[in-house]
Structure 1
Amino acid sequence: MIALVVTMGTLFAWALVAGRLARWSVTAPVAMTAAGVVLTVGPHPVVRISLTTSDAERAVEIILAILLFSDATHVPARAVRGRRRLLARLLVLALPMTLAAGALAGSLLFPAGGWWLAALFAAVTVPVDLSPAGELIGDSRLPSWLRGVLTVEGGLNDGLVAPVFLLCLAGVEAHGAGPGSASDAVGAAVNALLWAVLAGVLVGKPGGVLLQRAWLAGWTRPAAVRLAVLALPLTAYALAIVLDGNGFVAAFVAGLCFTPHCRRLPPKALHLVEDTGTLLSLALWFVFGELVTQAFTGDFDGRVVAYAALSLTVVRVVPVLLSLMGSGLDGADRLLLAWLGPRGMASIVFGLLAFIDLAPTDPHAADLIGQVMTMTVLMSLLLHGLTYGPLAARYSAARPRPDEDG
């Protein structure tokens, strides 16, 4: 309970001075991570958080379910309509190439772990998350179309990577267990994904239709609609678990099925689920601070730094640039899209789930996953935080009217 008191107290303290801290780009994730490091370091830390229990795993999965649902529903329709081809290049071409490049880098740096572990490294570190650089979305120095594309990419790629993550995790868990074990584990994971898709469709589509009709008929109120929307990802998660499916994938599918009905709901219908997701994610940023202290107090593998650096540069930049060839964008636009790929909450949650699952059976692999995830997110906070401002300023100076679409 002391952990909850400290975490929420830290969040409240940040909220009191958020405006002043914003002048130095100290966002909520940065503040919560710093607090997590300070309060969990040393032989007698103020807070101790157990991450290897089944309760911790379930809590992380539920948080991910809410975040994925919110991401799926928080995609700006105008950006999707206006830039379908560009988004297809990023999500259909660049994302698979990035996963492949990340797996290749992992296999070269950690050959003893095998391809499954290398692929799991990629699945954990590839998803883009703009929450550490939230000011980017409202920065008028960048054109609205570019901000919209980055928002859609960040909102959808974690959900698209989630099935890949589950398959890779199943492969790592079965690696070395005997002939046929990996194929059996992957088969079970595929079966869980199919049940997850079914659960998501059964909850998201009818839920959206019923809420829309109830609102248009005047049978409900805005506050009730907000509560009903929050109930949808939790319902999809629970139904998938009952069906032996994956809960957070079901929540993402439910969000995709629910999204077409959002436009006819009250304007603030999504605010409660978004705020809940934000609050829970900030608590996980505090937990991430403890992971930082753990990563540097145990046996640290220096190759982790090399992998994180590659993941944030070559692994991200080259596939995006290749996918944008022939897109009609100029060099500056392509480079900016390729570079602005911060890592954050999706990587933290995937890394935590992998660590929790692997710790009892393969502590070495669990530690490596934890270190790779921690170093990648930490370096992303530093690299993207330091370079975003100067890049936006140079981009704006070269384009007198940066907020024009097209």
Structure 2
Amino acid sequence: MVPSLLFEVMLIGLLGIGSQWIAWRYRMPAIVLMSISGLIVGPILGIMNPEEDFGNLYNPIISVAVAIILFEGSLNLSFKELKGLGRPVVRISTIGAFIAWILGSLTAHYVAGLSWTVAFVIGGLFIVTGPTVILPLLRQSKLKATPAKLLKWEGIIVDPIGALLAVFAFEIIAFITSTNPDGSSLFLFFAASFFAVILGWVCGRGVGWMFETGHIPEFLKSPAVFIVVIFAFTLADEIEHETGLLAVTAMGMTLANLGINSVADMRHFKENISILLISAIYVMLTASLQLEVLLKIFDPNIIGYVILMMIVVRPLSIFLSTWGTSLSLNEKMLVGWIAPRGIVALTVSGYFASILSDAGYEDASIIMTLTFGLVFFTVCAHGFTIGPLAKKLHLSLEGRPGTLIVGSNKFTMNLAKTLSKSRNPVLIVDSSWERLRLAREAGIPFYHGEMMSEQTEYHLDTNPYEYLVAATDFHSYNALVCTTFMPEYGRTNVFKVSPYNMIDGGVNDSVDRVGGRILFKEDVAMEDLINKIAKHYVFRQTTLTDQYGYKKYLAEKDKEAVMLYALKPSGKIKFYTEEMRVSPESGDTIVSLTPPKKEIKKIKERLENQRNNGNGNNANNANSGNNENQ
């Protein structure tokens, strides 16, 4: 066992974030690694058992964390994002959820051998996927926009619905089987659910109003939001168990659609908190499992139940609910396969296991085993297959990394041409049709719009692009673009042209220190690059070999050349900056903006050859003329 509770808290954080880092580094499903690390330190090695060690604090910690995670996910549910997808999302979240509930309950009864009461309770619970499992998978897999949005919306909306369906099933069955039926409990359930939605809406509107009117200072906005989230969740949950999830979802969606800048500004902070909580909770939940629970998941009935839920119940519910919608067959197949269960299923199933056991249902003892079996197998199966399946169905954005260039001019247009020739996706964004004329004439993909506007956020799919280059004539605007998109692209993938001032002979410190790495050289500004294009500088591509290495290239290159980027055979791009060291290897291609000395030399040689050939032809013509005269 761990020496202290403080050490255990440290170990949970280390395992959670360590699993996230390993998953990022080696492109593996993070939720699988977190679950495995929890199992190793928990039931397998017996190093810790958070449920016992935290005591009465364990369940409240898990509940509050789930509420915050669900709220953070629902903050991304803007109705503007549903353009063209409203019908499939509504159908999957309603008809699809109902079909999955009925089919899952039948499977639990006839395959897992559960009583009708227990089967219908967990049948409702097991329709949930949730942001704790879906969002990490979407972050890892890089799906196209349609399936990614469908899975995200379904996971967040159905999360509270599944928990409420389980409560509803229990209340209905208790009402039907009671010797003295009393409808007050059913009325309380529906009234509490309605109250939870209204509470979430009121809290969302209230927070939005206080933000807009300045009643909350900037430094208190994030703490205030989290306290209100916990308040809404706790108040609703105290009235009726599991309605708290409905309250925080309603609050998050309300804030997401108010269009308040303060909420958008907190997005990355909330995402960081959510990642930290997800990492910690998965380790805590799996570390708290008993070894006998793990061994029971290999029971034939449980394995059979899990397999049918994955390959029959889920695909049928998706195909039947999306019949007649605009979704393609490939999109239905992918969404019909991906349905990992997560934290909500594990936490709520524990609650119902005790409730049903107290009510006299002996088969409720296997609920935790059944739940963990479904969670673990779906997390592993879907975590490892979402990427390959998406590629197979042509729904993946995996491929050569793309570059998003903000600003259309002669330099960026030629830079985009070199990237296109290398089969790397490229897109030029500009708010001026006149400036975009260069890109249109060159056949370069472009987007007409303001990069910083909200409309661009919803209409421009930035998923194919790993790198962002801000290359407009306005240095402050370039810095603002880089600062805004740095959390999305990463600090090492956001670049801007140098804010070098040719008149003062230096760099504007205030602009230099804000956002983005300076491209190429600090003393090479945008006007320098455009002037070089006007002087017919060429974009030269040089491929390194074992015989012609990087050192030899540097020794022979023109001193006036501007080295732009190194391109690896995989398509990965390394832009030259003074802050990042680029070390190309054999097989890499270096792209530079070079004086046209070689081209001029070739032109002179060609003209000389033509002149010599012309003189030779004239001499031959003269000789033949003399012969004729003779």
Residue 214 of structure 1 aligns to a residue whose secondary structure is: coil
Query: Per the alignment, do residues 68 and 307 of structure 1 end up closer, same or farther by CA in structure 2, a change over 3 Å counting?
Result: same
Equivalent residue number for residue 240 of structure 1: 236
State which structure, 1 or 2, has the greater radius of gyration over its C-alpha atoms.
2
Deviates most, 395-404 or 309-318: 395-404
Residue 281 of structure 2 aligns to a residue whose secondary structure is: helix
User: CA deviation digits over 1:60-117, x for unaligned, max 9?
Assistant: 3323322332232222544323411221221132121111211221232355512x31
How many Å apart are 1:225 and its aligned residue? 1.7
Query: Per the alignment, do residues 298 and 19 of structure 1 end up closer, same or farther by CA in structure 2, a change over 3 Å counting?
Result: closer
* Mapped contact 1:171–1:182 kept (Cα < 8 A): no
User: CA deviation digits over 1:254-279, x for unaligned, max 9?
Assistant: 22333322543253324444433433
Asked if residue 189 in structure 1 is aligned to residue 185 in structure 2, the reply is no
Asked if residue 113 in structure 1 is aligned to residue 125 in structure 2, the reply is no
Deviates most, 248-257 or 134-143: 134-143
Residue type of the alignment partner of 1:226: S
Query: Per the alignment, do residues 313 and 12 of structure 1 end up closer, same or farther by CA in structure 2, a change over 3 Å counting?
Result: same
Query: Per the alignment, do residues 384 and 283 of structure 1 end up closer, same or farther by CA in structure 2, a change over 3 Å counting?
Result: same
Distance 2:7 2:355 in 1: 27
How many Å apart are 1:143 and its aligned residue? 1.7
User: CA deviation digits over 1:282-316, x for unaligned, max 9?
Assistant: 33212332337341346975322222222222111
Distance 2:348 2:238 in 1: 22
Distance 2:296 2:374 in 1: 17
Relative to its length, the structure with more helix (as a share) is: 1
Distance 2:80 2:140 in 1: 18
Distance 2:128 2:36 in 1: 22
Distance 1:132 1:175 in 2: 34
Query: Per the alignment, do residues 401 and 78 of structure 1 end up closer, same or farther by CA in structure 2, a change over 3 Å counting?
Result: farther
* Mapped contact 1:70–1:274 kept (Cα < 8 A): yes
In the alignment of these two chains, the number of paired residues is: 398
Asked if residue 214 in structure 1 is aligned to residue 214 in structure 2, the reply is yes
Gapped regions of structure 2 (runs ≥ 5): 401-424, 426-459, 462-630
Equivalent residue number for residue 101 of structure 1: 103
Equivalent residue number for residue 69 of structure 2: 67
Distance 1:165 1:10 in 2: 30
How many Å apart are 1:377 and its aligned residue? 0.8
Asked if residue 200 in structure 1 is aligned to residue 200 in structure 2, the reply is yes
Equivalent residue number for residue 162 of structure 1: 163
Equivalent residue number for residue 278 of structure 1: 275
Asked if residue 5 in structure 1 is aligned to residue 2 in structure 2, the reply is no
User: CA deviation digits over 1:37-67, x for unaligned, max 9?
Assistant: 112225x822124379765443333233223
Residue type of the alignment partner of 2:14: F
Query: Per the alignment, do residues 182 and 56 of structure 1 end up closer, same or farther by CA in structure 2, a change over 3 Å counting?
Result: farther
Residue type of the alignment partner of 1:86: P
How many Å apart are 1:182 and its aligned residue? 8.1
Asked if residue 145 in structure 1 is aligned to residue 146 in structure 2, the reply is yes
Query: Per the alignment, do residues 226 and 288 of structure 1 end up closer, same or farther by CA in structure 2, a change over 3 Å counting?
Result: same
* Mapped contact 1:74–1:155 kept (Cα < 8 A): no
* Mapped contact 2:79–2:257 kept (Cα < 8 A): no
Relative to its length, the structure with more strand (as a share) is: 2
Distance 2:164 2:395 in 1: 41
Query: Per the alignment, do residues 393 and 241 of structure 1 end up closer, same or farther by CA in structure 2, a change over 3 Å counting?
Result: closer
Residue type of the alignment partner of 2:118: L
Q: Which has the higher contact order (CA 8 A, sep 6+)?
A: 1
Query: Per the alignment, do residues 399 and 210 of structure 1 end up closer, same or farther by CA in structure 2, a change over 3 Å counting?
Result: closer
Gapped regions of structure 1 (runs ≥ 5): none
RMSD: 3.6
Deviates most, 325-334 or 51-60: 51-60
Distance 1:181 1:298 in 2: 37
Query: Per the alignment, do residues 332 and 249 of structure 1 end up closer, same or farther by CA in structure 2, a change over 3 Å counting?
Result: closer
Query: Per the alignment, do residues 139 and 374 of structure 1 end up closer, same or farther by CA in structure 2, a change over 3 Å counting?
Result: closer
Show the 5 A alignment for 1:197-346. Answer: 197-214=197-214, 220-221=217-218, 223-240=219-236, 246-289=243-286, 290-291=288-289, 293-297=291-295, 302-346=300-344
Distance 1:135 1:296 in 2: 24
How many Å apart are 1:131 and its aligned residue? 4.1
Residue type of the alignment partner of 1:331: L
* Mapped contact 1:232–1:254 kept (Cα < 8 A): no
Distance 1:47 1:100 in 2: 38
How many Å apart are 1:380 and its aligned residue? 0.6
Identity %: 19
User: CA deviation digits over 1:121-166, x for unaligned, max 9?
Assistant: 2222211236446564246863222212221111211122232122
Distance 1:61 1:181 in 2: 32
Distance 1:385 1:61 in 2: 24
* Mapped contact 2:391–2:398 kept (Cα < 8 A): no
Residue 213 of structure 2 aligns to a residue whose secondary structure is: helix
Equivalent residue number for residue 15 of structure 1: 17
